Amino acid sequence: MAEKYSLQTSIHIDAPAKKIYDLMVDLDRFDEWNPFMTMDPTTTTKVTQSKPGPGSLYEYEGKRIGRGQQVVLSVERPSLIVSEMTFFGKKTNTAIIEFRIQQETSGTLVTWYMEGERGLGGKFMGVVLGFDKMMGKSFASGLASLKTLMESEKK
Protein backbone atom coordinates (compact mmCIF):
# COMPACT_ATOMS: atom_id res chain seq x y z
CA MET A 1 0.00 0.00 0.00
CA ALA A 2 1.43 3.35 -1.06
CA GLU A 3 1.90 6.15 1.43
CA LYS A 4 2.15 9.86 0.73
CA TYR A 5 5.28 11.76 1.64
CA SER A 6 6.46 15.34 1.39
CA LEU A 7 9.56 17.27 2.31
CA GLN A 8 10.73 20.82 1.92
CA THR A 9 13.69 23.06 2.60
CA SER A 10 13.85 26.87 2.47
CA ILE A 11 16.51 29.56 2.29
CA HIS A 12 16.53 33.35 2.31
CA ILE A 13 18.30 34.92 -0.68
CA ASP A 14 19.30 38.58 -0.91
CA ALA A 15 17.99 39.05 -4.46
CA PRO A 16 14.64 39.98 -6.06
CA ALA A 17 12.08 37.21 -6.62
CA LYS A 18 11.86 37.98 -10.35
CA LYS A 19 15.59 37.49 -10.84
CA ILE A 20 15.59 34.22 -8.89
CA TYR A 21 12.53 32.97 -10.80
CA ASP A 22 14.11 33.80 -14.17
CA LEU A 23 17.18 31.72 -13.33
CA MET A 24 15.25 28.82 -11.77
CA VAL A 25 12.72 28.43 -14.60
CA ASP A 26 15.51 28.20 -17.20
CA LEU A 27 16.49 24.53 -17.18
CA ASP A 28 19.61 25.38 -19.22
CA ARG A 29 20.91 26.94 -15.97
CA PHE A 30 19.76 24.21 -13.55
CA ASP A 31 23.15 22.51 -13.37
CA GLU A 32 24.70 25.75 -12.07
CA TRP A 33 23.04 25.02 -8.70
CA ASN A 34 21.84 21.40 -9.01
CA PRO A 35 23.13 19.54 -5.91
CA PHE A 36 22.85 16.12 -7.54
CA MET A 37 25.57 16.90 -10.11
CA THR A 38 28.22 16.92 -7.37
CA MET A 39 26.95 13.57 -6.01
CA ASP A 40 27.69 11.74 -9.26
CA PRO A 41 30.38 13.06 -11.63
CA THR A 42 29.32 10.50 -14.27
CA THR A 43 25.98 12.28 -14.70
CA THR A 44 25.06 13.51 -18.16
CA THR A 45 22.14 15.84 -18.79
CA LYS A 46 20.03 17.05 -21.69
CA VAL A 47 17.66 20.02 -21.76
CA THR A 48 14.86 20.42 -24.29
CA GLN A 49 13.05 23.75 -24.21
CA SER A 50 12.04 26.24 -26.85
CA LYS A 51 11.72 28.83 -24.08
CA PRO A 52 11.83 28.46 -20.30
CA GLY A 53 8.50 27.42 -18.81
CA PRO A 54 5.80 24.75 -19.22
CA GLY A 55 6.90 21.86 -21.41
CA SER A 56 10.60 22.34 -20.70
CA LEU A 57 12.33 18.99 -20.17
CA TYR A 58 15.47 18.16 -18.17
CA GLU A 59 16.81 14.60 -18.49
CA TYR A 60 19.67 13.08 -16.50
CA GLU A 61 21.53 9.80 -16.17
CA GLY A 62 24.37 8.80 -13.87
CA LYS A 63 25.86 5.62 -12.45
CA ARG A 64 25.10 6.62 -8.85
CA ILE A 65 21.92 8.70 -9.16
CA GLY A 66 20.25 6.67 -11.91
CA ARG A 67 18.07 8.00 -14.68
CA GLY A 68 15.20 10.46 -14.57
CA GLN A 69 13.57 13.53 -15.95
CA GLN A 70 11.90 16.75 -14.86
CA VAL A 71 9.11 18.35 -16.90
CA VAL A 72 7.87 21.84 -16.06
CA LEU A 73 4.08 21.60 -15.74
CA SER A 74 3.07 25.14 -14.80
CA VAL A 75 4.45 28.45 -13.62
CA GLU A 76 3.21 31.57 -11.86
CA ARG A 77 5.73 34.29 -12.56
CA PRO A 78 7.62 35.17 -10.35
CA SER A 79 6.44 33.00 -7.46
CA LEU A 80 5.99 29.34 -8.44
CA ILE A 81 7.46 26.65 -10.71
CA VAL A 82 5.73 23.24 -10.65
CA SER A 83 7.41 20.21 -12.23
CA GLU A 84 6.88 16.49 -12.39
CA MET A 85 9.91 14.36 -11.64
CA THR A 86 10.09 10.83 -13.00
CA PHE A 87 12.65 8.43 -11.56
CA PHE A 88 13.27 5.45 -13.84
CA GLY A 89 14.50 2.17 -12.39
CA LYS A 90 13.18 -1.27 -11.61
CA LYS A 91 10.01 0.56 -10.70
CA THR A 92 9.22 4.00 -12.12
CA ASN A 93 8.24 6.60 -9.53
CA THR A 94 7.02 10.14 -9.92
CA ALA A 95 6.94 13.15 -7.63
CA ILE A 96 5.76 16.72 -7.86
CA ILE A 97 8.40 19.37 -7.29
CA GLU A 98 7.54 22.97 -6.46
CA PHE A 99 9.92 25.87 -6.27
CA ARG A 100 8.09 28.49 -4.21
CA ILE A 101 9.58 31.97 -4.49
CA GLN A 102 8.24 34.56 -2.05
CA GLN A 103 9.36 38.19 -2.18
CA GLU A 104 9.86 39.59 1.30
CA THR A 105 10.58 43.08 2.59
CA SER A 106 14.27 42.26 2.45
CA GLY A 107 15.17 39.61 -0.11
CA THR A 108 13.31 36.46 -1.10
CA LEU A 109 12.35 33.21 0.61
CA VAL A 110 12.87 30.23 -1.72
CA THR A 111 11.40 26.82 -0.83
CA TRP A 112 12.14 23.53 -2.60
CA TYR A 113 9.16 21.24 -1.99
CA MET A 114 8.62 17.64 -3.12
CA GLU A 115 5.64 15.30 -2.66
CA GLY A 116 4.71 11.89 -3.94
CA GLU A 117 3.74 8.38 -2.97
CA ARG A 118 5.96 5.46 -2.14
CA GLY A 119 5.41 1.78 -1.67
CA LEU A 120 7.02 -0.60 0.81
CA GLY A 121 10.51 -0.24 -0.73
CA GLY A 122 10.22 3.54 -0.59
CA LYS A 123 9.06 3.39 3.03
CA PHE A 124 12.14 1.28 3.86
CA MET A 125 14.43 3.79 2.11
CA GLY A 126 12.70 6.70 3.83
CA VAL A 127 12.85 5.33 7.35
CA VAL A 128 15.76 2.89 7.58
CA LEU A 129 18.15 4.39 5.02
CA GLY A 130 17.32 8.01 5.86
CA PHE A 131 16.27 8.95 2.30
CA ASP A 132 14.15 11.89 3.47
CA LYS A 133 17.00 13.31 5.55
CA MET A 134 19.44 12.82 2.65
CA MET A 135 17.07 14.54 0.20
CA GLY A 136 16.55 17.41 2.65
CA LYS A 137 20.33 17.87 2.86
CA SER A 138 20.57 17.76 -0.94
CA PHE A 139 17.80 20.36 -1.30
CA ALA A 140 19.56 22.57 1.28
CA SER A 141 22.86 22.20 -0.59
CA GLY A 142 21.22 23.13 -3.90
CA LEU A 143 19.50 26.16 -2.38
CA ALA A 144 22.79 27.26 -0.78
CA SER A 145 24.44 27.06 -4.23
CA LEU A 146 21.54 29.04 -5.69
CA LYS A 147 21.96 31.66 -2.95
CA THR A 148 25.69 31.99 -3.67
CA LEU A 149 25.03 32.26 -7.41
CA MET A 150 22.24 34.83 -7.06
CA GLU A 151 24.02 36.97 -4.50
CA SER A 152 27.27 36.97 -6.51
CA GLU A 153 25.39 37.93 -9.73
CA LYS A 154 23.90 40.85 -7.83
CA LYS A 155 27.29 42.47 -7.37
Rounded CA separation 122/140 (Å): 21
With bands split at pLDDT 50, 70 and 90, how would you rate the model's confidence at 112?
A: very high
Rounded CA separation 103/113 (Å): 17
pLDDT at residue 128 above 70?
Answer: no
With bands split at pLDDT 50, 70 and 90, how would you rate the model's confidence at 127?
A: low
Rounded CA separation 61/17 (Å): 31
Across the beta sheet with 57-62, what order do the strands follow? 3-13, 108-118, 93-103, 80-88, 66-76, 57-62, 44-48
Share of the chain above pLDDT 90, in %: 72
Share of the chain above pLDDT 70, in %: 90
Give the pLDDT confidence score for residue 117 in this predicted structure. Answer: 85
* Cα angle 101-56-44, degrees, rounded to a multiple of 5: 100
